[in-house]
Amino acid sequence: MPKSKTMNVALIGSKFMGRTHSNAYLNVSKFFDLPIDPVMHTIAARDGKDLAKFAPRWGWLNHTTNWKEAVNNPEIGLVDVGTPNHVHAEQSIAALEAGKHVACEKPLAGTLDDARQMVQAAKKAKKSKTFVWYNYRRCPAVALAHQLVKAGKLGRIFHVRAAYLQDWGGPDTPLLWRFQGKLAGSGAHGDLNAHIIDMVRFVTGEEITEVVGAIEETFIKQREIIESAGGEISGKGAGKKKAKKKMGKSTVDDAVMFLARLAGGAACSFEATRLATGNKNANGFEINGEKGSLKFNFERMNELEYYDATLEGRVQGWSTINVTRGGDGHPYAGNWWPDSHIIGYEHGFVNQAADMFSIIGGKKPVVPMPDFADAYETQKVLHAVIESARQHCPIKIRSIK
């Protein structure tokens, strides 16, 4: 068996995305034949005690509390930035300047300025490839939606309605980094609208050209400061035992909604909120075209609903495609289990790791992969939405540099 080519990976961050990315590197070579296989070389994070447990548990050979040491290690080929938004730029740019390939969590950055600096650094680093973990593109149902639209199955697109609804951001949720503007950049907007803006661009193949109007709302102005609370969404109710609560100001949105136009003229609505009570991770879209429609809801992530308006009227209706059939050409499905042996949230990350190493190895990804320049288009829309909400006016994306 010829020895496969390998590349050492350094991951920065060991919280929620640290786990999803570690799981992806642990499993990708078991399910995909890659031109280059990742080696889980180093995990870097701030808490040395936590790291000592995390590293062996998740398959990392080395661990360090000094991310710069990992980034500058000549043995490392890919640096993966899985940290909060305010350090994406510093860590990604350092890795690019060290000649590494760089993967970064979404959104590209907390601010447009940071994102622009990342794109400029990526342009300068000619030999480095960049990737952004817009993982939902690689849910097989979303990838199939992209392929169907690209094949012309919907024809001219009239409407897109996209919503990413969660409900973990209630009054009991403490002042995590995600509620601090200087760390996160924005709240549900950069966290959740980022995903649905990217997905709509990806599935329709069209850029958003104008934000027509927007609402930005912070319903819960004060949140409890919990020293131990990290950034993760499980901090709910952490402060319930404390007698006297120390409160801090939430400086980000809890919800942002906006109306937009696509390059082909479609009229779109987008909604992101952490207060949609009863919706846990309802990330979805509906696209209406001349020849048909598509509907996706991540809470039923293996299913894509399709309405084919080209059928004779008496047999038209919404069909629910269980996107698990590799034999029928469903994207990624052939790498996993037999028909209808459904997959989960973590598989999208494994599928992304597979495409990243395909690209590094000179092969094509199954579906398009966002690099820093592509993710900057999403970042420009994120910025335009907040400008539109605050100035109460439409904003053309071409005006954002």
Interacting residues with ligand SOE (CB under 6 A): 16, 166, 191, 233, 281
Closest separation in Å from C-beta 158 to ligand SOE:
28
Closest separation in Å from C-beta 249 to ligand SOE:
20
Rank residues 166 and 279 by Cβ distance to ligand SOE and give the closer one. Answer: 166
Closest separation in Å from C-beta 255 to ligand SOE:
13
Rank residues 67 and 168 by Cβ distance to ligand SOE and give the closer one. Answer: 168
Cα distance between residue 21 and residue 3, in whole Å = 24
Closest separation in Å from C-beta 366 to ligand SOE:
20
Kindly state the tokens that stand for 375: 């993710």
**DSSP character string of 108-149:** S-SSHHHHHHHHHHHHH-TT--EEEE-GGGGSHHHHHHHHHH
Rank residues 26 and 233 by Cβ distance to ligand SOE and give the closer one. Answer: 233
Rank residues 106 and 153 by Cβ distance to ligand SOE and give the closer one. Answer: 106
Of 319, 323, 265, nearest to 292 by C-alpha is 319
Q: Where are the alpha helices (DSSP H) in 3-66?
A: 16-31, 48-58
Q: Residue for token digits 């009227």?
A: 313
Cα distance between residue 345 and residue 239, in whole Å = 29
Q: Residue for token digits 């930005």?
A: 216
Task: Please state, as a whole number, how many other Cβ atoms lie within 10 Å of the Cβ of residue 161.
Answer: 17
Asked if 28 and 378 touch (Cβ cutoff 8 Å), the reply is no
Closest separation in Å from C-beta 166 to ligand SOE:
6
E strands present in 145-234: 157-165, 208-217, 222-224
Closest separation in Å from C-beta 377 to ligand SOE:
18
DSSP reduced 3-state for 170: coil
Closest separation in Å from C-beta 198 to ligand SOE:
11
Rank residues 72 and 281 by Cβ distance to ligand SOE and give the closer one. Answer: 281
Rank residues 16 and 336 by Cβ distance to ligand SOE and give the closer one. Answer: 16
Rank residues 16 and 337 by Cβ distance to ligand SOE and give the closer one. Answer: 16
Of 320, 341, 292, nearest to 141 by C-alpha is 320
Closest separation in Å from C-beta 348 to ligand SOE:
9
Kindly state the tokens that stand for 361: 């190895």
Q: Residue for token digits 């010829």?
A: 2
Rank residues 233 and 263 by Cβ distance to ligand SOE and give the closer one. Answer: 233
103: which strand partners? Answer: 80, 131
The CB-nearest residue to ligand SOE is 191
